Amino acid sequence: MNPQQLTTVQAVDNAFIFILGVSIFMLLLITGLMVYFVIRYSRKRYPVPLSQKDQNLWLEIVWTVIPTLLVMAMFWFGWEGFLTLQRIPDGAIQVNATARMWSWKFTYDSGKSSGKLYVPVGTPVKVKLESLDVLHAFYAPAFRVKRDVVPGMTTWVWFEAEESGSYNLFCAEYCGVGHADMITTIEAVPQAEFDQWVIFSQPPVVDGEILLDRYGCLSCHSLDGSASVGPTLQQIAGRITKVKRGAESLELRVDRDYLRRAILDPEAEIVEGFAPIMPPFAKGSLGQDLDRMLDFLMTGESIAPLDGEQIAKEQGCLGCHSIDGSALVGPSFKAIFGRITEIEGRGGITVDAAYLRRSITHPEAEIVDDYPSIMPVYDQLTEAELNALVDYLKGIK
Ligand code: CUA
């Protein structure tokens, strides 16, 4: 048998079922014979021993050889299983898993990332495991894999889902107060669906970027976050931006419609801090190119679904902060926006968007009275994700 052909489930189950089977057989055999002999050869029935023999060579050989073979077979099943778990089959796809207190993040070669582990059915998946902080463990019982995720060290597991479905994925190493909430799922989906899921997020870079350059957009708007004549286009999708519409000043979220307006009628809404100097593009003059540029600009949004609640769940915020007013490890999110909160050594401050952002990206700088300073730093969120999260918090009444 070639261990390469086994799945991790078969590898572990073979050893487990064999050992369990032998154990049950032996239990029944030994218990049965014992009871039988106790009754059959009781002293009442045979007050005097029937035989004076104290040796039987063949019996000795049989009960030495059979158990030896059984134990060696157990070892063989275990060893083959162990090798199967170690050898990654050819054609496995790789997913990078990052564990942190107290969430999982899975990143794919396409650049897409997710809090759930999406895998295609019927394809082996190698999961590279890294920890950003403390010891965690990747545990997927349905696939019989469990491995420590060690800070400063790279470990990995592989498995293959044979049927589509949603499977539990746990952290199996106590890693602090949020350990029990470090749960997510492995979503096994048909290959076609998986391909679409992964590709959907692949930025149509060439197209849109070339067009932006061709129309001269990039001479005033950077793609790398640096300020220029106009606002940067880096991660513009979903950004909360302050604009002046006539005499009115308002905050809005950058979506497709806003970008369309900003290109076709730039004077109507001027982003705060910038001069109203962008030349308009006449309606129709861009043709289909407009949509292609909008696709490009909105890409960031499709990479990270900008649902603040989703982000809060995926990042594990809700493991420590309730939304119903109850105090957990951290202060509740219920009606947090506008609340007066006591900061250690600083006194009361009003919770606004700027404070919420600071408390996510630099949680240790301002500690709320009566709470321990244990929140991990969340500096890997994109600008758009941060905005969505703050928006979500604002909305919790
Ligand atoms: Cu991570 Cu327990």
**pLDDT tens for residues 53-81?**
888 999 999 999 999 999 999 999 999 99
CA of 129 to the centre of ligand 1 (A): 13
> Nearest-CA neighbor of 117 among 154, 81, 157?
157
For ligand 1, is residue 182 a contact (CB within 6 Å)? yes
pLDDT in tens, 205-220: 446 777 777 777 877 7
Per the model's pLDDT, the better-predicted residue between 206 and 159 turns out to be 159
CA of 179 to the centre of ligand 1 (A): 4
12-16, 226-230, 266-270, range with greatest mean pLDDT: 12-16
Beta strands in the chain (DSSP E): 93-100, 103-107, 113-114, 117-120, 124-131, 136-140, 145-149, 155-160, 165-171, 184-189, 240-245, 248-253, 270-271, 340-343, 347-350
DSSP-derived letter for residue 373 is S
Taken in order of first residue, the domains within the chain and their CATH numbers are 3-86 (1.10.287), 93-200 (2.60.40.420), 208-299 (1.10.760.10), 308-394 (1.10.760.10)
Rounded CA Rg of the chain = 31
Residue 238 φ then ψ, to 5°: 85, -5
CA of 172 to the centre of ligand 1 (A): 6
For ligand 1, is residue 100 a contact (CB within 6 Å)? no
For ligand 1, is residue 136 a contact (CB within 6 Å)? yes
Residue 174 CA, closest ligand 1 atom number:
2
CA of 325 to the centre of ligand 1 (A): 25
Token couple for 374: 């244990």
Cα–Cα distance, 357 to 366 (Å, whole number): 12
**Is residue 290 predicted with pLDDT exceeding 80?**
yes
CA dihedral 313, 317, 318, 323 (to 10 degrees): -110
CA of 170 to the centre of ligand 1 (A): 8
CB distance 181 to 199 below 8 Å = no
For ligand 1, is residue 129 a contact (CB within 6 Å)? no
**pTM recorded for the entire structure:** 0.54
pLDDT in tens, 235-246: 888 888 888 888
Average of per-residue pLDDT values in the chain: 85
